[in-house]
Structure 1
Amino acid sequence: MTAETDLSAAHAGAARLAEETARTAGVHLRTVHDVSGLAAVADYFCDVWRTPRSSPPLPAEVLHSLVHAGGAVHAAYSVEGERLAGACAAVFGPPADADAYSLLAAADRGVGHPLKQAQRAWLLEHGARTLRWTFDPLVGRNARFNLVKLGATGTEYLVDFYGPMADGVNDGDESDRLAVLWDLRAPRRSGGSADRAVPPGPGPAVAAPRAAGIPLAPDGAPLARRSADGGRLWCRVPDDVVALRAADPALALRWRHAVREVFAHAFAEGFRATGMSRDGWYTLTREEHSPV
């Protein structure tokens, strides 16, 4: 099979999956080109990130420019009407014939998967092979969606990536981000399990960088553990960091620093983020042990 045939087959499969998952979610998908449609997407992003309509995370004119430059804005609409239920935006990155970058994505519950599959199908049709983006590593539900549902891999931990942020979701916190890579042709499989392969129960603990023994999370429970063979590491995040940040910003920041320390040392050792369990534990895997 040639590379061109392989890419064509991947595109066809992605397009079918986008259609099937959209039907299940009760939405229809389309790329957005018109000014009014892009303005509605900008307003939707304002609602998600809790910013004034006058200060959107991505203004309509910027969305229009990236579409004109060859990028794409995909949106999901309710079947019964034209209510916007999700949107995402992507541009091509270097090299332009292989890699793309997702600038922003948000969706109502159950709509994220068809939306990302539509984006994937469009990118494959236009020759992209990989898609990159970043997300807040403390938001466990996003980690689970990106690493388990989509099969992307966390490849880089970025400390305070955006600097101070003033939106209604991130305000008061430091903007650490986990960068992920999604192979559009063949997303990494989760091994048939939606949770970690081995629970982080009693066993070798990850040594705290400045103290011996079990590293503890801000709630006093274990924060991270390592498998006996050293090939896997597990790190826990809070149940709902967005709610925690609103209720107790100082505690949320302590969680940020604790998780940052584990990830920074793990990535320096060659680990990559490959999974997230339902109860908030990341699975990090050394490259030579990474799932296929």
Structure 2
Amino acid sequence: MNGATVRELHLMEDFEAVSLLYADIWGSEPGDSPISGEIMRALSHAGNYVAGAYEGGRLVGASVAFLGEPIGTSLHSHITGAVMGHGVGLALKMHQRQWALARRLTRITWTYDPLIRRNAYFNLVKLGARPEEYLTSFYGAMDDAINGGDESDRVLAAWYLTEPTPSPLEVTELPTGAAHRVLNREGRPEIAKTDAETVLVDLPDDIEALRRTDPGAARAWRLAVRETLGDLLTEGARVVGLHERRRYVIQRTASHP
């Protein structure tokens, strides 16, 4: 993990350092961090998960999670932030996994923005998590450097810890007959109707840059993926993988041809 050391945090000074790190990552003012040191202190004291990743004694990432339902089986990872390009996010997730297994938990859930390609790749391919639910504007509009005022649609991903080795959801060859519901047409989404059993939903090349340079196009992507991926998951379809790091591969169930 490139020398990153991950440990649980218990001191107020550590929680305050995490809050400042999160503010820097999300581009918000120090007093408007995504989570305060006081909340982390309370969660940790109540037996939940708060951990930091360090390189050379410097805080480079952190993760906050709390126990969820079904009680005694599930941990919900609320927020994880890390310096990019250091393998810190993976180190945090593996530490979180071991923490959960030591408490006989069987799954970890978290939400992620389905439009951010690197997050989709990390969750589905690097970790083998399964997208289970589409959550429309889960946190409302979020006006920070990452979300840019966009509505906070999220996908709930589940990581099943009882699998000896989670299967990465990377698709190298598309099934015969796979068809697009959303196609990336010169940077904008194009929605098509299809009755194909395997459905493809393209993603924008860089939604975070698009939110800064072309908010209208970013909004079009949000609505297109909400209408397609969101509806398919609601119908019971399953995301079976990611193809070329740029499109979801979705399998319809037999009851939804």
Q: Name the TM-score, length of structure 2 as normaliser.
A: 0.88
1:255 corresponds to 2:221: yes
Aligned 8 A contact 2:134 2:234 in 1: no
Letter in 2 for 1:274: V
Give the deviation of 1:275 after TM superposition.
Answer: 2.2
More strand by share: 2
Q: Judging changes above 3 Å, is the alpha-carbon distance between structure 1 residues 274 and 132 closer, same or farther for their aligned structure 2 residues?
A: same
Match of 1:198 among 173, 187, 194: 173
Letter in 2 for 1:128: L
Q: Cα deviations across residues 181-231 of structure 1 (Å, max 9, x unaligned)?
A: 1102215312xxx73243489x56356xxxxxxx55463576679796x1x
Letter in 2 for 1:115: L
Q: Give the whole-Å Cα distance in 2 for the aligned partners of 1:139 and 1:220.
A: 15
1:236 corresponds to 2:202: yes
Letter in 2 for 1:250: G
Q: Cα deviations across residues 218-261 of structure 1 (Å, max 9, x unaligned)?
A: 63576679796x1x322111011111111111110101111111
Q: Judging changes above 3 Å, is the alpha-carbon distance between structure 1 residues 241 and 97 closer, same or farther for their aligned structure 2 residues?
A: same
1:180 match: 157
Give the deviation of 1:286 after TM superposition.
Answer: 4.2
Q: Judging changes above 3 Å, is the alpha-carbon distance between structure 1 residues 277 and 74 closer, same or farther for their aligned structure 2 residues?
A: farther
Question: What's the secondary structure of 1:40's corresponding residue?
Answer: helix
1:38 corresponds to 2:7: no
Q: Cα deviations across residues 9-42 of structure 1 (Å, max 9, x unaligned)?
A: xxxxxxxxxxxxx3xx221111111111111111
Equivalent residues in 2 for 1:1-292 (5 A)? Answer: 22=1, 25-78=2-55, 81-108=56-83, 109=85, 110-186=87-163, 188-190=166-168, 195-199=170-174, 203=177, 205-206=179-180, 216-217=183-184, 219=187, 230=197, 232-286=198-252
Q: Cα deviations across residues 79-103 of structure 1 (Å, max 9, x unaligned)?
A: xx21111111111012321111001
Superposition CA RMSD, Å: 2.4
Runs of 4+ residues over 6 Å off in structure 1: 224-227
1:7 match: none
Q: Judging changes above 3 Å, is the alpha-carbon distance between structure 1 residues 224 and 120 closer, same or farther for their aligned structure 2 residues?
A: farther
Aligned 8 A contact 1:273 1:284 in 2: yes
Question: What's the secondary structure of 2:142's corresponding residue?
Answer: coil
Larger of the two Rg values belongs to structure: 1
Q: Give the whole-Å Cα distance in 2 for the aligned partners of 1:95 and 1:205.
A: 37
Q: Percent identity?
A: 38
Letter in 2 for 1:260: R
Runs of 5+ consecutive residues of structure 1 not aligned to the other structure: 1-21, 208-214
Aligned 8 A contact 1:38 1:64 in 2: yes
Question: What's the secondary structure of 1:164's corresponding residue?
Answer: coil
Aligned 8 A contact 1:217 1:255 in 2: no
Q: Judging changes above 3 Å, is the alpha-carbon distance between structure 1 residues 31 and 256 closer, same or farther for their aligned structure 2 residues?
A: same
Q: Judging changes above 3 Å, is the alpha-carbon distance between structure 1 residues 27 and 257 closer, same or farther for their aligned structure 2 residues?
A: same
Give the deviation of 1:168 after TM superposition.
Answer: 2.2
Q: Give the whole-Å Cα distance in 1 for the aligned partners of 2:188 and 2:30.
A: 40
Q: Give the whole-Å Cα distance in 1 for the aligned partners of 2:111 and 2:252.
A: 20
Q: Judging changes above 3 Å, is the alpha-carbon distance between structure 1 residues 68 and 271 closer, same or farther for their aligned structure 2 residues?
A: same
Give the deviation of 1:171 after TM superposition.
Answer: 2.8
Give the deviation of 1:121 after TM superposition.
Answer: 0.2
- The number of residue pairs the alignment matches comes to 250
